[in-house]
């Protein structure tokens, strides 16, 4: 994918002026030198390097995580980590789940059509959707994780995929603005909120983004919150949507950042165990 074409298309979703774009690109270049877009799977105890041994709260929460998860896959901290984590884990599942692949392709087509109805330029939306679908087809045809990892660490493909996930969220929120408008502040309309807080690359995600993406893709996400919230030494978690469905994507949240978690097969949380 040509670099110039990639930058031109992403300008549409960013809504930034040129100075801001250059600033973001400089920051991303610095981050790229030290972290891949999506890293290799690592043992969960690698997290021990990130916390002081004398911190009883975090050491207790690490033990809780170790008891329920085997591995972690870290993502680049560039503001797109939630979408990058969700996207990669979805592609990983698509390697063995044809039904999920078909569902994601259908959602992508429906989103494209609805965005055009909302007034988005068809040629740009179709370009993002075509690349998004192309990556899903690579997952369908591949028989190994290496291919997915290579594609998702390609800046062009990966950014296009993330942009379209952001557009999915934007489309869903705008179509359901009567309900979700109650959850946004400091924005005159849902369209303004989406143009400022959802569509721009490098904008961090909050609960409303996670809820929207889980709903539009019909995928249940469990987020483990590795912070000082709550009582005791158990890691707080939340399931999106909270409707009793079994989570299929597990993410670790540390203030400002998301990574991918891998559950222990013998410790799958049952629906009635989720609080």
| Residues forming the active site | 78, 81, 257
Question: How, if at all, do strands 236-240 and 69-75 pair?
Answer: unpaired
DSSP codes joined into one string, 10-27: HHHHH---HHHHHHHHHH
Helix residue spans in 98-144 (DSSP H) = 98-117, 122-141
Q: Nearest CA to 126 among 149, 108, 140, 103?
A: 108
- What is the distance between the alpha carbons of residues 123 and 112, in angstroms, rounded to a whole number? 10
C-beta of residue 157 within 8 angstroms of C-beta of residue 131:
yes
**Which residues in the chain belong to E strands, given as ranges?**
38-43, 69-75, 221-225, 236-240, 249-254, 257-263
- What is the distance between the alpha carbons of residues 188 and 37, in angstroms, rounded to a whole number? 34
- What is the distance between the alpha carbons of residues 50 and 257, in angstroms, rounded to a whole number? 13
C-beta of residue 210 within 8 angstroms of C-beta of residue 240:
yes
Three-state DSSP state, 76 = coil
């Amino acid at each position: 994918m040509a670099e110039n074409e990639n930058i031109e298309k992403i300008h549409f979703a960013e809504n930034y002026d040129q100075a801001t774009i250059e600033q973001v690109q400089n920051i991303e270049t610095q981050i790229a030198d030290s972290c891949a877009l999506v890293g290799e799977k690592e043992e969960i105890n690698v997290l021990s390097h990130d916390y002081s041994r004398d911190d009883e709260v975090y050491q207790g929460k690490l033990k809780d995580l170790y008891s329920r998860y085997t591995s972690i896959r870290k993502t680049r901290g560039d503001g797109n980590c939630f979408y990058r984590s969700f996207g990669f884990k979805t592609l990983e599942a698509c390697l063995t789940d044809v039904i999920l692949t078909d569902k994601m392709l259908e959602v992508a087509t429906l989103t494209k059509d609805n965005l055009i109805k909302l007034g988005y330029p068809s040629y740009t939306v179709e370009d993002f959707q075509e690349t998004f679908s192309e990556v899903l087809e690579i997952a369908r045809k591949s028989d190994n994780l290496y291919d997915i990892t290579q594609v998702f660490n390609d800046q062009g493909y990966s950014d296009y995929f993330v942009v379209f996930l952001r557009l999915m969220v934007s489309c869903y929120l705008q179509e359901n603005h009567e309900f979700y408008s109650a959850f946004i502040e400091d924005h005159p309309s849902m369209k303004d909120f989406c143009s400022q807080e959802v569509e721009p690359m490098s904008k961090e995600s909050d609960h409303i983004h996670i809820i929207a993406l889980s709903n539009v893709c019909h995928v249940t996400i469990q987020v483990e919150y590795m912070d000082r919230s709550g009582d005791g030494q158990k890691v707080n978690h939340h399931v999106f949507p909270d409707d009793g469905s079994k989570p299929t994507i597990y993410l670790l949240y540390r203030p400002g950042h998301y990574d991918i978690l891998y559950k222990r097969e013998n410790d799958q949380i049952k629906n009635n165990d989720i609080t």
